[in-house]
Amino acid sequence: MTYKMYKKKDKESLTPMQAYSQALRFLGPRFLSCQELRQKLQRKQVEASVIDDIERKLIALDYLNDERLAEQVLRLYMTEAKYGVLYIRNKMRLRGLSVPQKIDEYDELVIALRISSKKFKNFLCGNDDYEALCEGESNLVDAEGKRQKVIRFLKNRGFSPHTIATVIEELKFK
């Protein structure tokens, strides 16, 4: 039995109708920004002029609306209350979205205190049982390591340096 070697065809660009159908399939699972849709269609080797036409049609049909999407994404992050302003701004920038003014209402200090005290509750003093442990000099090195863990945790979640410093001052480590 002989096997024929098949040469893979070079990817051909999609026709405008195929590209439009592909764009609708991309929009099926979740809302995309104009930038995200453009990138996905470019990966499918759709010509720039065809992408421009598709984008105009989808904006006219209100399937693409970056302002509405930015509001929804910001509301989601604010509701989750897990991340700092820097993280939220960066994630929105990566999606090609402008950050609404509503982000000024987001109090990241309260959120940083809540999530760090919840995640690191074993590190913190506060109960009468632990007060004796908090005062010993032998725990200074250990407490510094715990502080560094909290700092890294908050930094990775996009909290500002000022917020992190304030949280570290507020928390009492064992």
Predicted confidence at residue 1, as pLDDT, reads 53
HSE on the CB side for 127, CA within 13 Å? 8
Cβ–Cβ < 8 Å for 41, 23: yes
Cβ–Cβ < 8 Å for 117, 171: yes
pLDDT over threshold 70, residue 172: yes
Mean pLDDT of the chain: 85
Reported as a single tens digit per residue, the pLDDT across 33-44 is: 999 999 999 999
Predicted confidence at residue 127, as pLDDT, reads 46
158/143: higher pLDDT: 158
Q: What is the mean pLDDT of residues 53-75?
A: 96
Predicted confidence at residue 3, as pLDDT, reads 56
What confidence category does residue 130 fall into, taking pLDDT thresholds of 50, 70 and 90? very low
pLDDT over threshold 80, residue 105: yes
Helices (H) and strands (E) in the chain, counts: 9, 0
What confidence category does residue 139 fall into, taking pLDDT thresholds of 50, 70 and 90? low
What confidence category does residue 137 fall into, taking pLDDT thresholds of 50, 70 and 90? very low
